[in-house]
Amino acid sequence: MCGFTAFFDTVENKNEIIDNMNKRIWHRGPDMSGKYIDDNAAMGFVRLSILDLSESGAQPMYSEDGNKILVFNGEIYNYQDIKDDLIAKGYHFISETDSEVLIHGYTEYGTDLVNRLRGMFAFCIWDKQNKRVFGARDHFGIKPYYFYKYKNGNENGLLIGSEIKSFLEHPLFKKELNEKALKPYLTFQYSSQADETFFKGVERLKPGHFFVFENGEMKIEKYWDVSFNDKHHTVDENIKKIQSVMEESIKLHSHTDVPFGSFLSGGIDSSYVTAYLMPDVTFSIGFMQENFDESIYAAELSKILGIKNIRKTITGDDCLGNLETIQYHMDEPQSNPSTLPLYFLSKLVRDNGVIVVLSGEGADEIFGGYEWYDDDAGQKKLKKLPNFILKPAAAIAKGLPEFRGKTTLLRAGRPVEETFIGEALIFDEGEAKSILKPRFQNSRTVRQITQPIYDMVKGKDDVTKKQMIDIKLFMEGDILQKADKMSMAHSIELRVPFLDKEVMRVGEEIGTEQKIANGTTKYILRKTAEQKLPEEWYKRKKKGFPVPIKHWFREEKHYNFVKDYFNKPYVAEFFEEEKINKILDEHYNGISNNARKIYTILVFLVWYERYFIKES
């Protein structure tokens, strides 16, 4: 696990610029750094040594003829198979790294290399002879990849990197807040548009895509995508398929030359990975408040499995006291509260000398694990009504003020495309617009963001549609962003064996009736886990990473912390101050539960102050 940054132009002072860019992402790779510079390119790299700890694994890495230069972040899990093929074709290797496979692989296969890869990766190869840049991002977006196009006189330049913050050191990067990012963020809780990050002009290379930059032109192509297609296998057949592919994936993901362990909560996903992996140690985080500490379950399972468990309890003071640092590492505002404990969980791992951890991300999206995939009791009851009653009732309710049961009625009586956007709906669009100043109200609508994804699964059932929304928006924009940024903030490598293209291939072929069944979500994975986990674990309902922000914002010291931010001089540039203070005060006084709304506004303000006031 590492970090890279690069730029392709003819500016002077490349050496100083790339050094400063490397310093910005030093936390991603404190073991070693390197750079490459010529008249048309500068590439920087910081290394967290995982495979082949020797100098032969250093980057940037060169092809045998010295004409191709590589920087690479991630792990290629099938690199040995590719390496064997390349050796048979006459290539020579000087290291035991997967990095060298990429540079020789590109020389041999060209852009078709990406179709041979199994892993998590973001990489860039500079072909200095042909003045061509080739870059690619993994299938799911596990590893981040940002780019920024700009003008240098008459030439077109390109900035790329693992983190946006490195771009701040380039003299031609124009740091501007993207006005089109704030309104969607208030609804989704994360930056939900690949081509519209919070920094104007900065985009993400989409998962499953590669690019070629040549003669000032950037061409982006898709090489892989999710494709749900029920093959109608029996439950027993699918159980065997899941067992086989997960055993293989976990084995591949546990290949490392440094100490490793696993994250462990009380849920089935991390528990299943841990039971297969059987690491030396597991790590867990909890809160003091009742019902917000799953670490006790992690400790119990670790004891049953005979594995050492290290856990820690954290507080509101810990979390809010480190909020600025956390948002700095995130690059963009992200108000999923589970980011907070993940930051401290990663720190706990590093403090105990472990470098690589495995985790359970991706299982819910692939196997149907979220509670919102199943209708709740109220929706099931309403759906028994004839459509000629239910649909008009939902249409009328849409235009009415809030009332008890309104959300249930809307979800039961309207198409999923009109009601579902993923895990969070913090502010609905009307409310988001009402608290924003006019210049921030003009951006994509929620429907404009979600509809292209729904179009990919036309004719599929509602659960499959929700899975695709979560894979394309929530998982890539939220889950994987925080997993990478919070782990790398503490220089540890987080691996996610569920997010493997062969595991996805199995998941794509499983029908909804095996995902949501017998009154539970993720039915088929729970059945698979019966042979590995105690009943209490494979049957336990998903809780996520519960964080007691509701309680914190009703404590005077934390209320005052937020109140101070809500009334800073720059707030009036973005928000209607009276309205956001009312949201805070009503929560503090117990009139309503506005915790997620408060936290979402707070996170943006903390992030903005860090990047646009303190940085300036």
Q: What is the DSSP letter of 221?
A: E
Angle at 412 between CA 406 and CA 415, to 5 degrees: 115
Helix axes 339-351, 480-488, angle to 10 degrees: 40
Query: How far apart are the C-alpha atoms of 129 and 126, rounded to whole Å?
Result: 9
From residue 34, how far is each of 19, 69, 74, 169 by CA, in Å?
9, 12, 17, 17
CB burial class (10 A; 0-12, 13-18, 19+) of residue 544?
middle
Ramachandran area for residue 435 (φ above 0: left; ψ -120 to 50: alpha; else beta): alpha
Looking at the DSSP bridge assignments, the partners of residue 62 are: 69
Backbone phi, psi, residue 180, to 5°: -85, -5
Its sign, for the CA torsion 347, 353, 356, 361, is negative
Angle at 435 between CA 430 and CA 437, to 5 degrees: 110
Query: How far apart are the C-alpha atoms of 371 and 516, rounded to whole Å?
Result: 10
CB 463 within 8 A of CB 307: no
Backbone phi, psi, residue 526, to 5°: -65, -40
In terms of Cα–Cα distance, which of 86, 81, 115, 83 is closest to 96? 83
Query: How far apart are the C-alpha atoms of 146 and 479, rounded to whole Å?
Result: 17
Three-state DSSP class for 456? helix
- As annotated, the active-site residues are 2
Looking at the DSSP bridge assignments, the partners of residue 177 are: 199
Q: What is the DSSP letter of 157?
A: E
Looking at the DSSP bridge assignments, the partners of residue 147 are: 160, 203
Backbone phi, psi, residue 125, to 5°: -125, 125
Q: What is the DSSP letter of 352?
A: T
